[in-house]
Structure 1
């Protein structure tokens, strides 16, 4: 049996456009409009999950989906850096930023380390029922990147070499412990055309 997992990154927010570490902010007007324009593109799926943040819930709703909130799909916790840009933090705490980017176990911001995020997403992938179906998960770029690293058994350093844009879909196929990367950060409407039959 083979499942299809479509990881959708949420639409843009003010923090996204400012290249800032996000708080729990809503979508901006353009992000909401972009997501709404894609409503119905992912209608042929069996299950929809999304992270608990407002930007994920709003994205899923704008896409015409009715998601189940999944705490394991929450964004990476960046602690006291939330709301600040990487440039600001790097100027104030260059050694802390260097540690964060080079040591997977480091959490100088007081939040979640990369190792913690990778472990959490690995658990989440293992916990998906091993049945043939299509699952959509609306979540954060950090979570999508971590899922890809786990799926292809890449090194933690690979996390920083994966770019996930807003409102793109990354597709994995397989099941617990045997995922294959099918599409990386493709447009939601193009990926939707290959989602197969199912129900909303």
Structure 2
């Protein structure tokens, strides 16, 4: 039995463009258009799940996907930093940002630590390992990072070393108690790319 998980990062919005911690903003016109252009490029799936964030739900809709919302796949909770840019927070709380970026157990913003987010996403991923078929999951970039950290056994400190571009697919296949990884492939316009 092989479980396949395709993690799709959301299309572009103003928060992503400004390196702003997610503030619940909607997709911008370009992000929506790009997601709509690649609708139909994804393989059939036994399950579709979506992070509860607005940009993930809107990306799923633009891709023509209907799925259940998965609270366990919410983006990293950054507490009081929500809606602010990393630069703004770094000016206001330089020591806190420094600790947060170097210590995965630290959550100076009053939200969730990177280590806790990786464990939460890892539990979801482990539950899928014994599930046959493909799961499509439209999730925040930090959920993709956490899944990769867990799947390949990276230390939680590796979380910040993984970049996830908008509207890309990261594929995991699980069998025999382990995961294999295929990183960040751009979604293609149907009929124009190599496909899945």
After TM superposition, the score normalised by the length of structure 1 is 0.92
In the TM superposition, what are the counterparts of 1:39-58 in structure 2 within 5 Å?
Answer: 39-58=39-58
Once the two structures are TM-superposed, the CA of residue 30 in structure 1 deviates from its matched residue by 1.0
| CA 1:150–1:163: 2 relative to 1, 3 Å | same
Structural RMSD (CA): 1.6
Partner of 2:109: 109
Once the two structures are TM-superposed, the CA of residue 131 in structure 1 deviates from its matched residue by 3.1
In the TM superposition, what are the counterparts of 1:156-195 in structure 2 within 5 Å?
Answer: 156-175=156-175, 177-181=177-181, 183-189=182-188, 193-194=195-196
Q: SS of the counterpart of 2:169?
A: strand
Once the two structures are TM-superposed, the CA of residue 143 in structure 1 deviates from its matched residue by 0.4
The count of residues paired between Structure 1 and Structure 2 equals: 193
Instruction: Show structure 1 runs of 4+ deviating over 6 A.
Output: none
Aligned partners of 1:74, 1:191: CA distance in 2, in Å?
A: 30
After TM superposition, the score normalised by the length of structure 2 is 0.93
Partner of 1:91: 91
| CA 1:24–1:177: 2 relative to 1, 3 Å | farther
1:112-164, Cα deviation, whole Å (9 max, x unpaired)? 10111011011111122613311100000000000000000011111111000
1:22-45, Cα deviation, whole Å (9 max, x unpaired)? 111111111111111111111522
Partner of 2:142: 142
Is the 8 Å Cα contact of residues 10 and 139 (structure 1) preserved in structure 2? yes
Partner of 1:151: 151
Q: SS of the counterpart of 2:172?
A: strand
Aligned partners of 2:195, 2:47: CA distance in 1, in Å?
A: 17
Partner of 1:73: 73
Aligned partners of 1:120, 1:128: CA distance in 2, in Å?
A: 13
Once the two structures are TM-superposed, the CA of residue 191 in structure 1 deviates from its matched residue by 8.4
Partner of 1:4: 4
| CA 1:176–1:137: 2 relative to 1, 3 Å | farther
Aligned partners of 2:93, 2:194: CA distance in 1, in Å?
A: 42
